[in-house]
Amino acid sequence: MPSPSAPTATSAAPSHSSGSSGEPAATAVVAAWEREADAPFARLEMAVATHDGRIWLAGGLSPFGEALTDVEVFDPATGEWSDGPALPGGVHHAALASDGDRLLLIGGYLGSAFNRPTEIVLVLPDGSASWEPGPALPEPRAAGAAAWDGARVVYAGGVGDGIEADVYALDGDAWETVGSMREAREHLAAASDLEGRTWLMGGRVGGLTSNLGTVELVEGDSIESLGGLPTPRGGVAAFHVPGLGACLSGGEAPDRAYTAVECIAADGTITELPELLEPHHGHGAAVVGGVAYVLLGGPEPMLSAGSTIESLALGPIAP
């Protein structure tokens, strides 16, 4: 799989793909993101995943920096919010993934402090009224990234004793070490095509001046470098678009939060999607019913929490 040092960027309306990158046919996008009704609360650094056609948000930080136990569920079909089972304790900078039958909340910082990463994994089976203990990570981690690749949960990076490069996979009920990213980093994002490939994107090495545009592709026991995206940034969220690959949204730097949305296919081809209407960092991203959503997070660097939701309609391009 090639790892181009200078990938070519294309416009927001890519032409039909032959599938040479291993991606399905290319995808079209509308001209711009659209503003949805605001969430009834403001939040950042919550864990976000799509499950059963809805978008789940677990934990996170309030506008006052409090670690939350709240679990909120957004139904894009109706625009309505509902309460999910609360977490047993406040946690932020965790990761959330769905395997289709259950949700897994992985790691994070316990309480409002930033010096208590945890190895705890909580599981919410379909139909359950409470979270249950799941297979713990091999070591404590916070501000890492996770995605379900269609067969296993892949978790990478984050903060443990230091800033980490490990890539783990939950296959059955046990975590295995896949390998290491080329660069240790935290505040990164992950997205998967659900066909065995997971993109690890962006992040930073501590402070906001250490942002990275690095992208790596995990497939089986292989961790392949895809080069970098045009805009280095941490505090990001990612989603997958057929034909375009994984798309990195938002992020933060010392002087701003970002509106950029940049995608990279498995062959390293980069596509720049329309910019977000507002900056987001510490936010969530998901795709439901052919529509991409970017949710909440902060409009300014550091502790700022918003309630904004944006959407971008996706659809196939005729050959």
pLDDT at 7 > cutoff 60: no
Q: What is the pLDDT of residue 28?
A: 58
pLDDT at 26 > cutoff 70: no
pLDDT at 33 > cutoff 90: yes
Q: Rounded to an integer, what distance in angstroms lies between the CA atom of residue 319 and that of residue 303?
A: 46
Look at residues 245, 77, 218, 231 and name the one whose alpha carbon lies nearest to residue 145. 218
Q: What is the pLDDT of residue 29?
A: 61
Q: What is the pLDDT of residue 20?
A: 42
Q: What is the pLDDT of residue 25?
A: 55
pLDDT at 2 > cutoff 50: no
Q: Which two tokens stand for residue 5?
A: 């040092």
- Mean pLDDT over 99-127 rounds to 96
- Mean pLDDT over 164-176 rounds to 95
pLDDT at 14 > cutoff 90: no
When the pLDDT of each residue in the chain is averaged and rounded to a whole number, the result is 91
Q: What is the pLDDT of residues 75-96, one digit of tens each?
A: 999 999 999 999 999 999 999 9
Lowest mean per-residue pLDDT among 2-6, 218-222, 229-233 = 2-6
- 95 within 8 A of 146, measured Cβ to Cβ: yes
Q: What is the band of 220 on the pLDDT scale with cuts at 50, 70, 90?
A: very high
C-alpha distances in Å from residue 28, one per residue of 22, 40, 67, 135, 292: 18, 31, 38, 39, 12
Instruction: Report all structural domains of the chain as residue ranges with CATH numbers, in order of start.
Output: 9-316 (2.120.10.80)
Look at residues 141, 139, 129, 171 and name the one whose alpha carbon lies nearest to residue 154. 171
pLDDT at 142 > cutoff 70: yes
Sign of CA dihedral 109, 277, 233, 73: positive
Q: Rounded to an integer, what distance in angstroms lies between the CA atom of residue 104 and that of residue 249?
A: 23
Q: What is the pLDDT of residue 293?
A: 98
Q: What is the pLDDT of residues 119-137, one digit of tens each?
A: 999 999 999 999 999 999 9
- 157 within 8 A of 144, measured Cβ to Cβ: yes
- Mean pLDDT over 197-220 rounds to 97
Rounded to the nearest 5 degrees, what angle is found at the Cα of 297, between the Cα atoms of 291 and 302?
150
- Mean pLDDT over 149-165 rounds to 98
Q: What is the band of 27 on the pLDDT scale with cuts at 50, 70, 90?
A: low
Q: What is the pLDDT of residue 9?
A: 47
- Mean pLDDT over 45-61 rounds to 98
- What's the predicted TM-score (pTM) here? 0.91
Q: What is the pLDDT of residue 30?
A: 59
- Mean pLDDT over 182-199 rounds to 97
